[in-house]
Chain A
């Protein structure tokens, strides 16, 4: 009897604890996160303060990184605006979307993952640059069905970078649903404008890459670029402030990324890191244990769609080719991908390049070596591109500065992460599955130094 009484008392004591725990678990299971993707336009992975840039100031994003997780090896599938965005939203490689070239229409049947969120009960909205179809600015095409609200572009009074309406979107959303926002800035795409630059820079501050010519016009070109990167950051900060005001910041998964690299020669459209690598910062206090942590695991942007869908508890689509990297949110140093792949297709100029990268090697094939590889028209028409062209024409360019003009261009290009030596014959035999590389860093078309 005494035993039964003791058991009953124990059960009564434990029951409330159990119920509370169960309720907490249930809450955790049913509380779907809000999601915001801030996608910058033409910003290289290393042009944010938290990604190591020595000059560009991005205090709002830096703060998110400080309280979250940043990835140092996140790769785009192409360094070209609209195909890159379509790839991110479908979780598919560009040639598998049917919209592999700039400004090409998206075939029916391609599914943007926000549509799945919308069907699963999310409120979904897009604000800023569209570039999801054949139009650069005006929203059109099959992906209109993925969003409850679309607009806020530069052309519609969304501000010089298309970001002026972002806070309004957060304020005007229905409050009884989780939300997904695709906030697509037009910063830092050319042409530059002088409107509302929160942070100013001096030409003296500029770090001119070795592949460009150090002139006053090149430096001024970078000043304008830096200012637009900081303007992107400024508007991210305004949205974060609004989320705090509404008390929803903790359970909002914020992703900071870009569609392709900076709009300078040998960056945008190209397969080198400053063209094909994206900054990737994730902030989500309610679901992310990481604080100021770094993941160097290889991830592809086609993995973003399945990750978000899994976190939202919504079934993915069989059309998605990426895989969820949810496990990296809990264990940032875990092994994830062995390979990332990327493409360079038509963007102003005919192109066919392919890249595969491991954590040690990058291999690029150029299917059109008979032509030069200058990149897009906006790049070569810009001040830095013009200065470089004049320098080359005057016969003053270094080999590195000359690379984009030379024909035939390289048909194959294999590089290592700086400092790692490879044995070329083993590499060629096993392609990128190099396991025992030891000697001979620069053989054949191996590019000296690094893969930038």
Chain B
């Protein structure tokens, strides 16, 4: 998995998109509609062609 993450540019940003709802009540929270940083953004993963282990 480490090889796959490295080769395909996967990562876990500190500011991932937050919960939009309360996990127990399902009601919307103030952070609703806020987007954070998606995995792969820092490594520009959209331009990476390597597939990782096959």
Contacts and interface: CB of A to CB of B under 8 A. Distances in A.
A411 interface: no
Contacts of B2: 431
Interface in B5-54: 5, 8-10, 12, 16-21, 23-24, 26, 35-36, 38-40, 45-54
B19 A96 contact: no
B23 A322 contact: no
B1 A96 contact: no
A349 interface: yes
Interface string A71-106: 000000000000000000000010111101100100
Nearest to B7: A321
B16 A349 contact: no
Given A349-B19, A371-B23, A377-B26, A96 B4 contact: no
A345 B46 contact: no
B23 A372 contact: yes
Given A96-B45, A341-B1, A322 B16 contact: no
A348 B21 contact: yes
Nearest to B16: A350
Contact of A431 (B1, B9, B36): B1
A109 to B, nearest CB: 7
B45 A95 contact: yes
Interface of B is mostly: loop
A323 B54 contact: yes
Interface string A327-365: 000000000011101010110111110101000000101
Interface in A352-386: 352, 354, 356, 363, 365, 367, 371-372, 374, 377, 380-381
B9 A346 contact: no
- Band of interface residues on A: 35 or more
A349 B1 contact: no
Contacts of A352: 12, 16, 39
Nearest to B27: A377
A350 B8 contact: no
Contacts of A356: 1, 4
B21 A96 contact: no
A319 B52 CA distance: 13
A314 interface: no
A440 interface: no
A233 B2 CA distance: 40
Nearest to B11: A95
Contacts of A16: none
Contacts of A377: 21, 26
A338 B3 CA distance: 14
A345 B1 contact: no
A170 interface: no
A149 B52 CA distance: 35
Given A104-B38, A432-B1, A349 B23 contact: yes
A352 B8 CA distance: 16
A345 B20 CA distance: 13
Nearest to A110: B46
A121 interface: no
A380 B26 contact: yes
A356 B54 CA distance: 11
B54 A96 contact: no
B53 A96 contact: no
8 contacts: A96-B40, A98-B46, A321-B51, A337-B54, A343-B39, A349-B20, A352-B39, A356-B1
Interface of A: 93, 95-98, 100-101, 104, 107, 109-110, 318-319, 321-323, 337-339, 341, 343, 345-346, 348-352, 354, 356, 363, 365, 367, 371-372, 374, 377, 380-381, 389, 431-432
Nearest 10 CB-CB pairs, A to B? A95-B40, A321-B51, A346-B17, A98-B46, A95-B39, A356-B1, A367-B12, A349-B19, A352-B12, A96-B45
